[in-house]
Structure 1
Amino acid sequence: MTVLVLGDQLTRRAGPLVARPDERVLMIEARAFATRHAYHPHKRTLVASAMRHFRDALRDDGRDVAYHETETFGGGLDAHFDARPGDALVVMRPSSHGAADRLRDLVTARGGTLTVVENETFCCSPADFDDWHEGGTLRHEDFYRHMRRETGVLMDGDDPVGGEWNYDESNRETPPEDYEPPDVPTFDPDATTRAVQDDYADANAESWADPAPFGWPVTREGALAALDDFVARRLPDFGPYEDAMVAGEPTLDHALLSAPLNLGLLGPREVVDAAVEAYEARGDVPIESVEGFVRQVLGWREFVRHAYRVGMPDLADANRLDATRDLPPVYWDGDTDMACVAEAVAGVRRRGYAHHIQRLMVLSNFALLYGVDPHALNRWFHVAFVDGYHWVSTPNTVEMGQYAGDLFATKPYAASANYLDRMGDYCAGCAYDPDATTGADACPFNALYWDFLAENEDDLRSNHRMGLVYSHLDDKRDAGDLAAIRERAGEVRAAVSASDPSRTE
């Protein structure tokens, strides 16, 4: 038997690599898979380099590893079965919907067999989630509390440590003007990473991105160093400033651990335990910081993995609001006078990264108000972010960001400039006036916000969480202002869609 290791299952701490320590290992790096979309160059480099480093680490441990660099994944399987006809493979279940069935078909067609075992790179198994869910309402807060109780993380007997389950209200502070967050560690490319960059140089040369030097961790050791740095230097201020947006500070105190987590270089429980241990051992980590981090990893990350599993395949085609507009070119080129959008896209173009409030309340929010086809935005999130995978981006973007599904989102995350100005300082340096709704210098978010409410009134007015905003829309309609607002929204869409479309997928 041979253990098949996929590119996002790079762990020696769980799964068949542990259960079958003497079996040979098969890994396939398929160029067509890496180049079939306009992936960010850092994402291509990250995945391929992490795979090659993982191969080398296994070999250093004495494992027999067959590593095939081929054009297609099927070509790698051809090479394997040519050398070992009729071989039996075992693999952890892939996270993407239908991937296990497609993989089994590829193996069977070549005369082999495939055993799919539980994916142990998550904390909550499908069986455990389904026992909790039992076909009921998917609500993150309920699941999060369930996971706290099941794991004992931040629990004092039956009660949450600190007396509250959730300190979200304390995660919305604004850093002082002179605040300087610690630098994020970078990891210089070694010979293996440079070889990957050379191998994909042609594809990356045609990229829409304008990447900074590559600096993501590509080894287990690098990922652990990134975790240690976060816990030591940025965890204390992470909670209070978790939702803040500051011009010139694309990361603030965020962990930037999602990429190594999603590759398997780190495990979710070990990063949670590291944060909790720091909270318990040190006096500088407030409860709102450790709880906010635990909520993101043990709560939200696990929740969206299973929401994706439960919601597919319907979620892949969901479009509750019938949004059909094309993704504007600004998502690729960042060419806009909207300071918040320009800065968020610039961060993505440089490093394939934006923090979660930029993703939800700037990038997703603008697409929602604009009326972008949710699946066009989902594809962009998938290709543009180094931590973007279908299981990650689909529930976060289609369901939560675009309110396109009917799975767990209870209202659209739509916001005008008022929210953006309250949660960040972009507006202070923006060409547009956040307090104006009409006129050439009015913030585009404002007119688009009210136009979005008017355009989707039949679908949203009955939502009990939308009553107040629709009373405000009624006031604007009664005052005779809505027609001018909607005209301004049309002008915004026309201007945004007319920008240079050359840098698209």
Structure 2
Amino acid sequence: MTVLVLGDQLTRRVGPLAARPDERVLMVEARAFAARHPYHPHKRTLVASAMRHFRDALRDDGRDVEYHVVETFGDGLDAHFDAHPGDDLVVMRPSSYGAADRLRDLVAARDGALTVVENETFCCSPAEFDEWYDGGTLRHEDFYRYLRRETGVLMDGDDPVGGEWNYDEANRETPPADYEPPAVPTFEPDATTRAVQDDYADLNAESWAAPEPFGWPVTRADALAALEDFCEHRLPDFGPYEDAMVAGEPTLDHALLSAPLNLGLLGPREVVERAVEASESRDDVPIESVEGFVRQILGWREFVRHAYRVGMPALADANRLDATRDLPPVYWDGDTDMACLDAAVGGVRERGYAHHIQRLMVLSNFALLYGVDPHELNRWFHVAFVDGYHWVSTPNTVEMGQYAGDLFATKPYAASANYLDRMGDYCAGCAYDPDATTGADACPFNALYWDFLAENEDDLRSNHRMGLVYSHLDDKRDADDLAGIRERAEGVRAAMSEGESPRNE
């Protein structure tokens, strides 16, 4: 039997690699997979380099690793079964919907057999989640509390440590003007990483403009170093500032651990336990910081994994607001004089990353108000972010960010410039006026926001969580302001669809 290791299952702490320490290992690096979308150069480098480093670490420990760099995944299987006819493979269940069945078909076509075992790179198994869910209501807070109780993380007997389950209200502060967040560690590319960059140079030249130098962790040791650095330097202020947006500070105190987590270089339980350990052994880590971090990893990450699992395949086609507009060029070229959008897209172009509030309240929010086809935006998130996988981006983007599904989102995450101005400082240096709704200098978010409410009134007015904003829309309609607002929104879309500034009306 041979253990098949996929590119996002780079762990030997759990799964078949741990259970079968003497079995042969098969890994396939397929160029066609990397070429089928205009992936960010850092994403291509990250995945392939992490795979090659993992191969080398296994070989250094005496494992027999068969590693194929080929055009297609099928070519890799051909090479394997030519050498080992009728072999039996075992693999952890892939996270993407339908991937296990596709793998079975590929292996069966070559007269092999494939055993798919549980994916142990998460904390909560499908069986545990399904028993909790039981076809009821998918609510993150309920699941988060369930998993806290089940794991005992941040629990004092039957009660949460600190007396509260959720410190979200305390985690909406804006750092002072002179605040300087600790630097995020970067990892110098070694010979293996540089070889990957050379191997994919032609593909990278055709995707995104030249980003900043690559510095993501690609080994288990680098990932552990990144975890330690976060817990030592950025965890204390992570909570209060986790929803803040500051010009010139693309990472603030965020962990930037999602990429090594999603590759398997780190395990979610060890990440959570290390953060809790830091909070328990030091006086400078407040409960709101460690709880906020635990909520992201143990709560939200686990929740969206299972929301994707139970929501597919319907979520792949969901579009309950019938949004059909094309993604404007700014998402690809970053050419805009909107300060918040410029910062968020710029961060993605430079390093394949933006923190979670930029993703939700700038990138997703703008696309929602603009009326972008949710699946076009989902594709962009998948290819643009180093941590983007279908199981991550689909529930986050289609369901939550675009309110396109009917799975767990209870209202659209739609906001005008008022929210952006409150949670960040982009507006102070922006060419647009956050307090104006019409006119060439008015922030595009404002007209688009009210136009979005008007355009989707039949679907949203009955939502009990939208009552207040629709009363404000009624006020604008009664004051005969709505027609001018909608005209401004139409002008914004027309300009941005052509890659032009909304000021040029």
How many angstroms apart in 1 are the aligned matches of 2:499 and 2:444?
15
Which position in structure 1 is the counterpart of 2:396?
A: 396
Letter in structure 1 aligned against 2:382: H
How many angstroms apart in 2 are the aligned matches of 1:392 and 1:276?
24
Which position in structure 1 is the counterpart of 2:72?
A: 72
Q: Which is further off, 235-244 or 204-213?
A: 204-213
Letter in structure 1 aligned against 2:72: T
- The answer to whether the 8 A contact 2:319-2:374 is kept is yes
Q: Does residue 1:282 correspond to 2:296, yes or no?
A: no
Runs of 5+ unmatched residues, structure 1: 501-505
Written as runs of structure 1 = structure 2, the 5 A alignment for 1:37-436 is 37-436=37-436
Letter in structure 2 aligned against 1:41: P
- The answer to whether the 8 A contact 1:209-1:332 is kept is no
What SS is found at the alignment partner of 1:103? helix
Letter in structure 1 aligned against 2:185: P
How many angstroms apart in 2 are the aligned matches of 1:326 and 1:251?
29
Q: Residues 178-214 of structure 1, C-alpha deviation per residue, up to 9 Å, x if partnerless?
A: 0000000000000000000000011111122331000
Which position in structure 1 is the counterpart of 2:18?
A: 18
Letter in structure 2 aligned against 1:199: D
Letter in structure 1 aligned against 2:454: A
How many angstroms apart in 1 are the aligned matches of 2:208 and 2:257?
24
Q: Residues 457-486 of structure 1, C-alpha deviation per residue, up to 9 Å, x if partnerless?
A: 000000000000000000000000000000
What SS is found at the alignment partner of 1:162? helix
Which position in structure 1 is the counterpart of 2:503?
A: none
Which position in structure 1 is the counterpart of 2:439?
A: 439
Q: Residues 261-286 of structure 1, C-alpha deviation per residue, up to 9 Å, x if partnerless?
A: 00000000000000000000000000
How many angstroms apart in 1 are the aligned matches of 2:395 and 2:358?
17
Q: Residues 342-400 of structure 1, C-alpha deviation per residue, up to 9 Å, x if partnerless?
A: 01000000000000000000000000000000000000000000000000000000000
Q: Residues 99-151 of structure 1, C-alpha deviation per residue, up to 9 Å, x if partnerless?
A: 00000000000010000000000000000000000000000000000000000
What SS is found at the alignment partner of 2:162? coil
Which position in structure 2 is the counterpart of 1:503?
A: none
Q: Residues 422-451 of structure 1, C-alpha deviation per residue, up to 9 Å, x if partnerless?
A: 000000000000000000000000000000
Letter in structure 1 aligned against 2:262: N
Consecutive aligned runs of 4 or more in structure 1 exceeding 6 Å deviation: none
Which position in structure 1 is the counterpart of 2:479?
A: 479
How many angstroms apart in 2 are the aligned matches of 1:240 and 1:487?
39
Q: Does residue 1:452 correspond to 2:452, yes or no?
A: yes
Letter in structure 2 aligned against 1:386: V
- The answer to whether the 8 A contact 1:145-1:165 is kept is yes
How many angstroms apart in 2 are the aligned matches of 1:446 and 1:29?
46
| Identity across the alignment (%) | 89
* Paired positions, count: 501
How many angstroms apart in 1 are the aligned matches of 2:176 and 2:284?
18
- The answer to whether the 8 A contact 2:41-2:208 is kept is no
Runs of 5+ unmatched residues, structure 2: 501-505
Letter in structure 1 aligned against 2:413: Y
How many angstroms apart in 2 are the aligned matches of 1:365 and 1:253?
22
- The answer to whether the 8 A contact 1:92-1:120 is kept is yes
- The answer to whether the 8 A contact 1:155-1:161 is kept is yes
